[in-house]
Structure 1
Amino acid sequence: MPDHSERARMPLAVYVLGLSVFALGTSEFMLSGILQPLARDMGVSIPQAGLLVSAFAVGMVVGAPVLAAATLRLPRRTTLIALLAVFGAGQIAGALAPTYGVLFASRVVSALACAGFWAVGAAVAVSLVPVTARARAMAVMVGGLSIANIAGVPAGALLGQHAGWRAAFWAVAALAAVGLAGVAALVPRTAVPTGEDRPQLRRELSIYRDKQVWLALVATALNGGAVFALFSYLSPLLTDTAGLDESWVPTVLALFGVGALIGTYIGGRKADANLFGMIFGGIGASTVVLAALALTAHSPVAAIALALLLGVTAFATAPALNARMFNVATAAPTLAGATTTSAFNLGNTLGPWLGGLVISAGWGYPAVAWTAAGLAAAAVLTTVIAFRLQRTGAGSRVVASSASATASAAAPDPDRVRADA
């Protein structure tokens, strides 16, 4: 069976990259489970502590395209090792942070390194496999993110409750060290392309003249904002509104992660057959789940069940949203991945910020869920506009360009990735 042969060709290096993403994702999302003890220890409010989530997201938004462009012509393996080292140092700085300001700065630095690793790592993962296995390679990396929600985030919450929130930062630093060792040992050295194959920043930047790229970016950002407006304040919603004990928080976060893994699997299986259908269905379902959570937030059973469902609906759209960006930005594979990362984290910045404003206004945590539902509904509307433009022919230039570039990419080039030995 072709499927089995493709699985046999998946290099171990791709799984090492997925492991590294697990460490990065744990750091990005773990604050949701340690927000309260961190706020108490640092002497700040919950909304101020929530801004640490936004700080990481801002670093991701800026870091992904900037570092992707800055390292475009550098050896990929060396770049990945350097970025993981900086990320690990940022976690250590966070663990030792004496003040909120130092912790905030450490989150930004860690995020810059995380963004660069994701953008470069995605390009490396794709380059290590045949064209027909690229989606699977990306699924391994996204899977690292999903597993971070299942295992990493709840484990961070558990550590925060029993060993102090700083222990979670030390644990992620250790994970980063393991990932760094794996990248150094298993990711092959690659020669920097020369001649016509050499990456050209001007050519890659040309994708930003396309309205479909911007629509895809906005839809991804709004969807991310919807999810993380709620997720960033899920812990206090569960305890203060639903009335659950703090000991329940790691379990509910783990359920969200299980939902995320299920959603990633469903989205990966269905997105290729019906890309827009998967986006409409996933984001539309998230809108309904968030509205239902706003209405039933005082019920512990409903809050737990809907947290699981939100994980499913939110991550079911991830493969489709990523594929959509690559479809409309085929001429710029490096910046396509970086742009998706930036868009996702733009939403991750917007969502917690809006949620914090709602909480500070005294409207309560259910109002955060209503805010998230509004963002998701706006993402659906943006996707409708993109779909109508494509159906009416406004996206024909993009489709033609993408088809040409895809045909070119399908032709194997043995010199594109070769070992330095």
Structure 2
Amino acid sequence: MPLFVHLLGLAVFAMGTSEFMLSGLVPGLARELGVSIPAAGQLTSAFAVGMIVGAPLMAALSLRWPRRRALLAFLAVFMLVHVLGAVTTSFELLLVTRVVGALANAGFLAVALSAAAGLVAPDAKGRATAVLLGGVTAACVVGVPAGALLGQAWGWRSAFWAVALVSAPAFAAILRAVPDSPAVHARGGGARVEFGALRDRRLLVTLLLGALVNGATFCAYTYLAPVVTDVAGMDPAWVPVVLALFGVGSFAGVTAAARVADVRPARLLVLGGAALLAGWVAFALAAGNPVATVVLVLVQGTLAFAVGSTLISRVLYTAVDAPTLGGAFATAAFNVGAALGPWLGGLAIAAGHGFRSPLWVSALLVAPALALLIRRQDGMNSQDADSPGS
């Protein structure tokens, strides 16, 4: 895999850390800025909305830019808003920086996915996707806990400074190592042409599958803490351990799926989807057992990201008429799931169904996805037969 793909993964690691790190910083941030914890929680919602809106919008705007220039511009804005967030005393301004940071994050990820897929061998899109998503999973395993520790030791602002500092070497490395290329628009493409790819039913179905699977993943992930403490009856000290195990599983899933996603995607998606559905049902039934909880968190993290990363690579394979916006479509669809899943899980809890209910919601989201995967398996196989490396 070319070096520049790993450099893009480093930047994605910094951005993934920023996206998830507020879970450990909200109490201190709320105290210092004089807002309630629910109000501080809006910072997370603002980031998610920025990712959903920003992916297609920023990628469309970048069509007139060479890819390296687009990547550097998005990363520079991302770094600057984190510096501003680290020094501001205004909650309102901090909220704005989260939205702008999410727009830059979404634009960078969309262009990075497309650049990586377009500059590697035709049969290596799955492996390139795995490297980039490895940055997100590494953020869950290392970046988010590190941000929480920094927040406890030196305050929440130190985590914002750390994200900006980690992004700096990635910026320098991209400037030197990522090959430049003409703007997509200059090569005869454009937003209208690329958005026209959304008429492809296969692409729309794949995006829907991504939203459903990711919705299930983040529905369960968001409410793991009360599952651990209130359902499994474990000590609160186990919560960061369980979250880290989920991150380890996600990294393992992305890594394991990397090569299979390029050569046997249909088999991986159908078998992985069936195992994922069975796992959510088993987790919902066995969540009262601490040992089962620990084991299933690791297993489900692995399965969820193996299936999810494969679906992202399928978007890139299918969106041949949208070489830049294909990554944007995938980013937006998966963030729709990341926003929808926790909301549905919250509704289930608010309706009085208890803290197991998000696990059942996750199963209900994966079930129609599995049915769609089984229905389109033959079509996917025939498509893959024409793909290099199949």
When normalised by structure 1's length, the TM-score is 0.81
Paired position in structure 1 for 2:223: 233
Paired position in structure 1 for 2:279: 289
Paired position in structure 2 for 1:24: 15
Contact 1:33 1:235 in 2 (8 A): no
Q: Quick check: 1:12 aligned with 2:12?
A: no
Q: Cα offset for 1:212?
A: 1.8
Q: Distance in 1 between matches of 2:31 and 2:283?
A: 27
Contact 1:267 1:318 in 2 (8 A): no
Q: Which amino acid aligns with 1:154?
A: P
1:341 to 313, 331, 339: 331
Paired position in structure 1 for 2:149: 158
Alignment partner of 2:120: what SS?
coil
Q: Distance in 2 between matches of 1:208 and 1:85?
A: 30
Paired position in structure 2 for 1:202: 192
Give the direction of change, closer, same or farther, for the CA distance of 1:365–1:31 in structure 2 (3 Å limit).
farther
Give the direction of change, closer, same or farther, for the CA distance of 1:96–1:328 in structure 2 (3 Å limit).
same
Q: Cα offset for 1:146?
A: 2.1
2:261 to 271, 279, 284: 271
Q: Distance in 2 between matches of 1:239 and 1:33?
A: 17
1:366 to 330, 346, 356: 356
Give the direction of change, closer, same or farther, for the CA distance of 1:91–1:120 in structure 2 (3 Å limit).
same
Contact 2:184 2:190 in 1 (8 A): no
1:141 to 132, 149, 165: 132
Give the direction of change, closer, same or farther, for the CA distance of 1:368–1:153 in structure 2 (3 Å limit).
same
Q: Cα offset for 1:351?
A: 1.1
2:310 to 301, 320, 324: 320
Q: Which amino acid aligns with 2:2?
A: P
Please list the CA deviations of residues 268-325 of structure 1 after superposition, one character each: whole Å capped at 9, or x if unmatched.
2323333222112223322222222323333333222221111101111134202322
Q: Cα offset for 1:103?
A: 4.3
Contact 1:153 1:253 in 2 (8 A): no
Give the direction of change, closer, same or farther, for the CA distance of 1:40–1:241 in structure 2 (3 Å limit).
farther
Q: Cα offset for 1:336?
A: 1.4
Alignment partner of 1:112: what SS?
helix
Q: Distance in 2 between matches of 1:335 and 1:55?
A: 22
Q: Distance in 2 between matches of 1:227 and 1:36?
A: 25
Alignment partner of 1:365: what SS?
coil
Q: Which amino acid aligns with 2:159?
A: A
Q: Cα offset for 1:91?
A: 2.8
Please list the CA deviations of residues 166-191 of structure 1 after superposition, one character each: whole Å capped at 9, or x if unmatched.
43333222222232222223223334
Paired position in structure 2 for 1:167: 158
Paired position in structure 2 for 1:124: 115
Alignment partner of 1:71: what SS?
helix
Q: Distance in 1 between matches of 2:173 and 2:124?
A: 22
Paired position in structure 1 for 2:371: 381
Q: Which moved more, 1:183-192 or 1:62-71?
A: 183-192
Q: Distance in 1 between matches of 2:252 and 2:210?
A: 19
Q: Cα offset for 1:19?
A: 0.4
Q: Distance in 2 between matches of 1:97 and 1:239?
A: 35
Q: Distance in 1 between matches of 2:347 and 2:89?
A: 26
Q: Distance in 2 between matches of 1:353 and 1:335?
A: 27
Q: Number of paired residues?
A: 387
Q: Cα offset for 1:333?
A: 1.6
Q: Cα offset for 1:214?
A: 1.4
Q: Which moved more, 1:92-101 or 1:203-212?
A: 92-101
Paired position in structure 2 for 1:301: 291
Paired position in structure 1 for 2:76: 85
Contact 2:284 2:356 in 1 (8 A): yes
Q: Which amino acid aligns with 1:173?
A: A
Q: Cα offset for 1:71?
A: 0.7
Q: Quick check: 1:68 aligned with 2:59?
A: yes
**Aligned-residue CA RMSD (Å):** 3.0
Q: Cα offset for 1:43?
A: 5.2
Paired position in structure 2 for 1:221: 211
Q: Quick check: 1:185 aligned with 2:176?
A: yes
Q: Which moved more, 1:66-75 or 1:363-372?
A: 363-372
Q: Which moved more, 1:360-369 or 1:35-44?
A: 35-44
Give the direction of change, closer, same or farther, for the CA distance of 1:203–1:193 in structure 2 (3 Å limit).
closer
Q: Cα offset for 1:110?
A: 1.4
Please list the CA deviations of residues 99-154 of structure 1 after superposition, one character each: whole Å capped at 9, or x if unmatched.
66554433222111111001111232234433344443332212212222221122
Give the direction of change, closer, same or farther, for the CA distance of 1:324–1:192 in structure 2 (3 Å limit).
closer
- How many percent of aligned residue pairs carry the same amino acid? 46
Contact 1:227 1:351 in 2 (8 A): yes
Contact 1:51 1:352 in 2 (8 A): no
Q: Distance in 2 between matches of 1:112 and 1:322?
A: 19
Q: Distance in 2 between matches of 1:151 and 1:262?
A: 14
Q: Distance in 2 between matches of 1:40 and 1:248?
A: 25
Contact 1:97 1:103 in 2 (8 A): yes
Q: Which amino acid aligns with 1:365?
A: F
Contact 2:213 2:308 in 1 (8 A): no
Q: Distance in 1 between matches of 2:77 and 2:313?
A: 29
Q: Distance in 2 between matches of 1:36 and 1:311?
A: 27
